[in-house]
Amino acid sequence: MSAGGTQLSASGPRHIAIIMDGNGRWAARRGLPPSAGHKAGVERIRDLLSACRDRGVEALTLFAFSSENWQRPPKEVELLMSLFHSYLRKEARRMREEGVRLRVVGRRDRFSPRLQRAIAEAEDITRGGEHGDLVIAADYGGQWDIAQAARLLAEEVAAGKRSPESIDEQALGEYVQLADLPPVDLLIRSSGEQRISNFILWQAAYSEFYFTDTLWPDFDEAALDAAIAAYRDRDRRFGGRSGDGIAAQA
């Protein structure tokens, strides 16, 4: 999303991931059913994507549906699936025009064949995008992600293509989702909950976490700017010492 960025900053973040939470409460406060909150929540994504582009963010990963969200009432799951389908049908062409490459991460086999086709088509038509990545995590779980990476490595061992000794953090890190994107610098969760709910576990090892009480359908450009400002204020040490000379004195 860096091309055309007006406020491109060397200090990043390059990759933002968001747990889009609070649709149900947003609707309940208005005396509306959860479906109204989900509809309002989807409407936020278009603006947010372009706001990220304007701010030089290269990759945006959105948690849209967790592997645990199948436990919701069937009617709600059905609505979420249909919103996902219509979002892909509506937005993929626009993304292609803007040079945004879309991908969906998560299990796909539990989606209807129709939704699986829409995902594949949206990924196909945006494949050449060179101005940023939008990742939608759907039927995604961080534990699933690590398990599928382990399975791929195990298959290579079984096929004699690698040794068990070759399996280390780097090897596993190449098989989890998002491995080809910049590391997730900033992980935002809306709605006030302070937990990860089985979102990216491996990839968030050194992400900065930002929690806001704002409910997802209210998460606007100002909310994004507040999150980015908080991120830029953080001292990212990655286990080392900050560059203030204290390390040199030790």
Q: Indicate the annotated binding residues for substrate.
A: 22-26, 38, 66-68, 70, 72, 189, 195-197
Q: Does 63 bind ligand IPE (CB under 6 A)?
A: yes
Q: Does 135 bind ligand IPE (CB under 6 A)?
A: no
Q: What is the end-to-end Cα distance of the chain in Å, rounded?
A: 41
Q: Which residues are annotated as a binding site for Mg(2+)?
A: 21, 208
Q: Map residue 103 onto helix, strand or coil.
A: strand
User: Which class for 171: exposed (0-12), middle (13-18), buried (19 or more C-beta within 10 A)?
Assistant: middle
User: Which of Mg ion, ligand IPE, none interacts with 80 (beta carbon under 5 to 8 A by kind)?
Assistant: ligand IPE
Q: Alpha-carbon distance 171 to 207, whole Å? A: 20
Look up tokens 């991908």; give the residue. 103
Q: For 131-147, b where at least 16 C-beta lie within 10 A, e where not — what string?
A: bbbbbbbbbbbbebbbe
Tokens of 207: 């992400």
Q: Alpha-carbon distance 129 to 114, whole Å? A: 24
Annotated active-site positions, please? 21, 69
CB of 139 to Mg ion, least distance (A): 16
Q: Does 67 bind ligand IPE (CB under 6 A)?
A: no
Q: Alpha-carbon distance 42 to 155, whole Å? A: 38
CB of 27 to ligand IPE, least distance (A): 8
Which is nearest to 111 in space by CA: 147, 175, 67, 142? 67
Q: How many residues does the chain have?
A: 250
Options 44-52, 59-67, 125-133, 147-155: segment touching ligand IPE (CB under 6 A):
59-67
Q: Is the peptide bond before 13 cis (omega within 30 degrees of 0)?
A: yes
CB of 76 to ligand IPE, least distance (A): 8
Which of 13, 40, 65, 175 contacts ligand IPE by CB under 6 A? 65
Q: Does 35 bind ligand IPE (CB under 6 A)?
A: no
Contacting ligand IPE within 15-34 (CB under 6 A): 19-25, 34
Options 94-102, 150-158, 187-195, 235-243: segment touching ligand IPE (CB under 6 A):
187-195
Q: Does 115 bind ligand IPE (CB under 6 A)?
A: no
Options 53-61, 62-70, 156-164, 219-227: segment touching ligand IPE (CB under 6 A):
62-70
CB of 182 to ligand IPE, least distance (A): 22
Q: Alpha-carbon distance 109 to 62, whole Å? A: 20
**Closer of 129 and 217 to Mg ion (Cβ):** 217
Tell me which residues touch ligand IPE (CB under 6 A). 19-25, 34, 63-66, 69, 80, 191, 193, 195, 197
